[in-house]
Amino acid sequence: MKKFMPIVASTVALTAFTTAANAEDMSTNDSGLYLGGNYGYLKVDNEDDFDDSNDMWQGVLGYRFNSFFALEGAYSDFGEYGNSISNAETTGYSAALKGTLPITDTVEIFAKAGQLWYETDYNVAGFNGSNDDEALFAGAGLNFKLSQNLLLSAQYTWYDVDLNADEAADSGSDTDFDTDFNQASLGLEYRF
């Protein structure tokens, strides 16, 4: 069920964006570069040692093709999480397709989906290690225009992360952790 909901949400969002895009002349839409940052809360959902929550931050660079579609890249620092015996720290880069639907002159809703490439440094019972991996993610949120170029955003993003601490623990125990990162954040976006 966890993997089904992002697919349904993405399908509904893309249908809405396609309908809206067909209703407006694309030549009059806003386009261009934007830069932003997010700060927020990260809930690490894991059935075992790495279940935790902490602060996270994210830097964003994107390009809007028109009022409805953008390509967005980000660097995310998910912070340190876990407990005194098993803990980890994750950072990563992501690329996403982002769809935006203007609701009023000052409010927009958006949905995005993409790929995260991440690195996790582990400390499991005194054994240290690092692992590189990739994951899919999906998110949605609201933009509030503070001015013509500056926006305040609120968003929720879900990452399907699998933590693998094989290098950090040489024991025969299972070191693969099925994990979800759930990010709720506020941010600023500046459109050039």
Domains of the chain, first to last: 4-24+40-191 (2.40.160.20)
pLDDT band at 26 (very low <50, low <70, confident <90, very high): very low
Region 73-84: what's the mean pLDDT? 89
Residue 146 in tokens:
């503070």
Region 150-157: what's the mean pLDDT? 97
Residue scoring higher pLDDT (84 or 108): 108
This prediction has a pTM of 0.76
pLDDT band at 94 (very low <50, low <70, confident <90, very high): very high
Given the structure tokens 């694309």, which residue do they identify? Answer: 26
pLDDT for 190: 96
3-state helix, strand, coil in the chain (%, to 5): 10, 65, 20
Hey, is 103 helix, strand or coil?
coil
pLDDT band at 30 (very low <50, low <70, confident <90, very high): confident
Region 163-191: what's the mean pLDDT? 72
pLDDT for 24: 46
Element counts in the chain: helices (H) and strands (E)? 1, 8
Residue scoring higher pLDDT (43 or 83): 43
Residue scoring higher pLDDT (82 or 187): 187
Distance, CA of 173 to CA of 170 (rounded, Å): 8
The percent of residues above 70 in pLDDT, for the chain, comes to: 74
Residue 140 in tokens:
């949605």
Q: Is the pLDDT score of 86 beyond 50?
A: yes
Residue scoring higher pLDDT (3 or 67): 67
